[in-house]
Amino acid sequence: MKVVVVESPAKAKTINKYLGKDYKVLASYGHIRDLPSKDGSVKPDEDFSMIWEADAKSTKRIREIADAVKGSDSLILATDPDREGEAISWHLLEALRNRRVLKDVDIQRVVFNAITKSAVTEAMANPRQIDQELVDAYLARRALDYLVGFSLSPVLWRKLPGSRSAGRVQSVALRLICDRELEIETFKPEEYWQVMADLKASDGSTFEARLVELNGKKLQKFSLANKADADAALEAVRRNGFTVDAVEAKPVRRNPPPPFITSTLQQDASRRLGFSAKRTMQAAQKLYEDGKITYMRTDGVQMAEEAYQAARSEIRSSYGSQYLPEKARRYSSKAKNAQEAHEAIRPTDFGLSPKEFRGDADLARLYDLIWKRAVASQMEAARFERTTVDIVSADKTAGLRATGSVLMFDGFLTLYQEGRDEPSDDDDDSRLPQLKQGEQPALLEAKSSQHFTEPPPRFSEASLVKRLEELGIGRPSTYASIISVLQDREYVRLDKKRFVPEDKGRLVTAFLESFFRRYVEFDFTASLEEKLDLVSDGKLAWKALLNEFWKEFQAAINDISDLRVSAVLDALNEVLGPYVFKPAEGADETANPRTCPNCGDGLLSLKLGRHGAFVGCSNYPECKFTRAFSVDAEDSQNPVNPEGNVLGQDPETGKDVSLKSGRFGPYVELEPDEGEKPKRGSIPKGWDVESLNLEKALMLLSLPREVGKHPEDGEPILANIGRYGPYVQHIKTYANLPTVDEVFEIGLNRAVSVIADKKANPGRRAAAAKVLKDLGKHPDDEAPIQVLEGRYGPYVKHGKTNATLPKDQKPEDVTLEQAVELIAAKAKSPPKKKKAAPKKKAPAKKKTAASSKTKAKSE
């Protein structure tokens, strides 16, 4: 029996179809070991030794594989053909060696770029050993990311309260987004004008030409800077007749793009399908595991020889020989750090057209894109005829130019057109009339138009991936996780499919630029990627790379350890000044934008609080002026004014209904009569405060809502929103509702059913708390610490101690160190005193003759 190990059960299922009964295919379910999320997992002082741990699920997988290997004569490691795949195989071997089950077992490593019968069979016939150089590159990268994260993040927590963490590559990507935002905010539009003329040719057809020369000088973009310049240019055009001076028709070819690599697939799927990078990679992973496409993590643009022939055969049969070039098109990568060890992303069977594909919608759409791009890459070029006509005025003072582009042969465009952020010259499909030199077209109308320069656009997922790739930052397989981490940490948000940095993201970037500038520089990060590639090529020892990096990085950490928070704030004030301290519109340009608007002589400065940064006056506590960190926070991020924004009037009473912000968040309030307690309603979780209107406010103020009378006893059933969410109530029976909207929509029949179900199961115990994350063992007693999902939110558990997570803390981001701190704080807090049960009165003693006599004596 031969044991084959792959990453996923889906991949195992596909491969199992191609191998005989002598093989047993098992899945490792990805990585089986990782560095524990605690300080000390990488030990620089011990030659960068690393501690690896397997969680409970992975331990079970290892045990299953070990049991299978015990009764076999061969172990075949068939994980993915990249650095991560090599690392998974290495980890598995190490774990099995620790269990001492590899004696007399033949160990083989096989790789295939596609999960097809021919590819798998060929791989099995050509095994090799573990590529230690690829493993070393993995170890170096993992150690670097760990050392940066666990050294830098605690500094952030101490010096920049409210921040989450920092990463080696994510911080550079965040800087790109923040730099672009600052560029947009500080951008000053420049005015310019254009002059256009509508002309009529001798054959009666009309066309448009642009003024490009005036008084013997070629016009540049800003040559016509204002209306006066434009009016003078218009006069020069209107007072003249025109003659065609030159006509140039030039053939232009546009070649097809190469087949997809990881980054271009993410970019095009974003532009054309609206897929996030994560969604794209998930769909591509399934297509690969189903044997429909080749491996999807690659930066190679070449295809296997049989693929070229298959694509050309498909073109010949489906589109005709006129679409087939004489030779196969072969591409080479332009990326600085490309490793063309794998094929481009392509279909494994070009005969399976997108129309014949059967599967999930996402998979079908992505397969369609991959198939078309791969086939189009082998098609003939598209041919255009681009015509340029130069026209001069009679007095030679004005020169016009008309351009047009005509598609002569569509070539690969018949099948596929690449999504682009910017239009191409070839996209101009206007056709000019047949004009001849010396012809005198008639001027129908001349007009001017005002324009202003625009700031660069915010990054989309596609353009961010493209920029990271251009800079040589990260690797194709990491772009999806980089983007996900930035969003999960709430450093950026997507607005209309463009990245906008959050305040905490800008703070972190400003901090790193001020005190760790080298480590967020694009060139430094790119050069580190190149060194990691040298490790994978066997040209650089991985521990030498780590040693060189750690010496300088540790020194930088030590330099800032004694830095006072006031010095940090001074640096942030300097870096973020253009963003935080913008002068008001119409304000005196000589005035200091940092002057406190409240007291007039204090200076505004960044302050750090429990929940992040804000702006306060230097004259505190005499002046207590504060505002949000973001200049536009009140208008965009937090539209709730504590004093109240009036949404409208209650149609029944005519009183104002206001949106306010209180201690426990935003709420709506109906204007009370004098001396009365105001009627209020909290904004439920999930409702967008920015879009809250009068109608929704009145719905909240109408609660509790009577659904109807219970048919059995006539008592009312009420729907309301309480401390623990939406519910319905009948006398003393409370039953939860799944959504807030149902409070306003639930009918009597549904409410009676929910109440009856609750009454039928009054003592139903809650299900066991769901484990969200295993953090590792407590440093004091080695007992496990977990993040669990509780009834009232996520919490960390250690033994009998449960500590609730802060509201702004996502469970997936909790580290072991943070959990230990929360548990310690919880353990120190005094337990809540339980209310003492009322003492039962002693039963009255029966009167006896003796007691009666005693009582009589005392009286």
- Active site (catalytic) residues: 295
Please report, as a single letter, which amino acid is at residue 617. Answer: C
Q: Look up residue 167 and give its DSSP letter.
A: -
Distances (CA, A) of 223 to 209, 216, 219, 233, 390: 17, 13, 6, 10, 19
All residues at 6 or more sequence positions from 840 whose CB lies less than 8 Å from its CB, including other chains: none
Nearest to 82 by CA among 575, 475, 411: 475
Q: Residue 643 contacts by C-beta under 8 Å, 6 or more apart in sequence?
A: 660
CA contacts within 13 A on the Cβ side of 633 = 16
- Residue 804 and residue 789: Cα distance in Å, rounded? 10
| Secondary structure of 475-501 in HEC code, one letter for each residue | CHHHHHHHHHHHHHCCCEEEECCEEEE
Per the structure block, which two tokens stand in for 602? 């204090």
Q: Cβ-count burial of 349 within 10 angstroms (0-12 exposed, 13-18 middle, 19+ buried)?
A: middle
Q: How far apart are the first and last CA of the chain?
A: 103
Cis before 684 (ω within 30): no
293 secondary structure, DSSP code: B
Q: Residues 821, 806: contact at Cβ < 8 Å?
A: no
Q: What are phi and psi of 494, to 5 degrees?
A: -95, 125
Query: CB-based contacts of 139: which residues, under 8 Å, 6+ apart?
Result: 50, 87, 542
Taking alpha carbons only, the member of 429, 469, 11, 106 closest to residue 267 is: 469
Crossing angle for the helix pair 277-289 and 479-488, to the nearest 10 degrees: 140
The number of CA neighbours under 13 Å toward the Cβ of 585 is 1
Residue 58 in 3-state DSSP? helix
> For residue 684, what are the contacts with CB-CB under 8 A and spacing of at least 6?
700, 721, 726, 740
Give CA–CA dist 275/273, Å, rounded: 5
Instruction: Kindly give, in sequence order, each residue whose CB lies less than 8 Å from that of residue 617, ignoring residues fewer than 6 positions away.
Output: 596, 598, 599, 602, 603, 604, 605, 623, 624, 625, 626
State the CB neighbour count (10 A cutoff) for residue 17.
11
Helices (H) and strands (E) in the chain, counts: 22, 30
How many other CB atoms are there within 10 angstroms of residue 369's CB atom? 22
- Cα gap 815→150, rounded to integer Å: 10
Both structure tokens of 659: 């949106």
